Structure 1
Amino acid sequence: MEQVDTVEQVDTVEQDRHARQDHGKHGHRRIEVLVPMRWGDMDAYGHINNVQIVRMLEEARIKAFGPPRGAGLPGVEPQVSLFNAVPEGTMALVVDHKIRYVRTLEYRNIPAVVQVWIGAVKGASFDIHYLVKDPVTGEDCVKASTHLAFVDEATGRVQRLTAEQKERLAPYTH
């Protein structure tokens, strides 16, 4: 793990990692992103609060697959354009979260390392998996998954994944 001391170094490492892909234990591709730990994320025990872990998972998901269309101003392109490439009027909604806290993630003033990959891809939904690691020790701290579906904003109906969406997810599917 690279030791970083300044904001400039964190930015440089972030840019390097943005393009980096890990191939996991079985050669499957994973996207690795850095997610800042904020001072306010820490609880009275000195580690990142479990509620803030959900926020960090969201940040990792957006860094890996892009922000929803129309949210904010253009910025850095994600590793895989997915959420930012959905048709107008389509929402990406969380159906379920599963989180296992393997060990506490101690607050550090450098970003946590989060590996992201795709699990099950079904007709109208898919799973995103996460592994949150301590940025200094490299130890696994959190294993999680998010089940998502695309929903038509006007009708509220779930939309089937397109062939193009499945193709974008395929290299990262385990």
Structure 2
Amino acid sequence: METSAHVIRVRVPMRWSDMDAYGHINNVEVIRMLEEARILAFGPPGGTGAPGTEPPVPLFNTVPPNTQSLVSEHRVKYLAPLEYRNVPADVDIWFSSVKGASLAISYLVLDPVTNKPCVKAETMLAFVDGTSGALQRVSAVQRELLGRYTGPSVFA
């Protein structure tokens, strides 16, 4: 499968404990893998964790202090079982919508051996002020940063 210019490909480890009784990655663990892909591609949310390597798109480094990123919605469609492998899964990730105070992130999870799409998903994310809980607008700096990595929804 070819990746488009707007796609970031990250590799997310599959853990032995992620497997269900059928040898597939459990559906709950798929959601964890989406979170890991988001962090690998866009960085840790403001101020948590120790410094590490810069992500391809340092989205979370552009938010004001005391900002929280909150998931407001997940949509997941399982296309084929994601078999446990002892190698990381390939996850293609990009922005599929940038609105006033939220953004949508699309994912395509691929089997790392067969390259077969196993999961397509979308996450709605919003930034809020950690003290007041008020929604924060997506800034012009963030919009510019995201522009190159914006494409159609995985559900389009």
2:91 is paired with a residue whose SS is strand
Q: Which moved more, 1:52-61 or 1:78-87?
A: 78-87
TM, length-normalised to structure 2? 0.94
Match of 1:109 among 51, 62, 86: 86
Shift of residue 29, structure 1, vs aligned partner: 1.1
The amino acid that maps onto 1:95 is: S
Give the structure with the higher percent helix. Answer: 1
**Structure 1 runs, 4 residues or longer, greater than 6 Å off:** none
Q: Is the 8 A contact 2:62 2:141 kept in 1?
A: no
Pairing partner for 2:58 from 81, 85, 97? 81
1:7 alignment partner in structure 2:
none
Of 145, 150, 154, the residue aligned with 1:173 is 150
C-alpha distance in 1 between matches for 2:83 and 2:53: 28
The equivalences for 1:4-153 within 5 A come to: 22-23=3-4, 28-153=5-130
- What CA distance in whole angstroms lies between the structure 1 residues aligned with 2:61 and 2:87? 27
Report the Cα distance in structure 2 between the residues aligned to 1:22 and 1:71, rounded to whole angstroms.
Answer: 31
Aligned residue pairs total 151
What does the per-residue CA deviation read over 1:25-84, in whole Å, with 9 as the maximum and x for residues that have no partner?
A: xxx410000000000000001010000000000000000000012111111110001013
Q: 1:167, CA displacement in angstroms?
A: 0.6
TM-score, normalised relative to structure 1: 0.84
Partner of 2:154: none
Distance, in Å, in 1 between the alignment partners of 2:95 and 2:116 is: 21
Listed as ranges, the gaps of 5+ residues in structure 2 are 152-156
SS at match of 1:147: strand
| C-alpha distance in structure 2 between counterparts of 1:125 and 1:132, whole Å | 23
Look up the SS of the partner of 2:148 in the other structure: helix
Q: Tell me the percent identity.
A: 60
RMSD, aligned CA: 1.3
- Partner residue in 2 for 1:18: none
Higher relative contact order, chain-length normalized (CA < 8 Å, sep 6+)? 2
DSSP-derived class of the 1:114 partner: strand
SS at match of 1:172: coil
2:147 maps to amino acid: A
Which amino acid is 1:128 matched to?
Answer: I
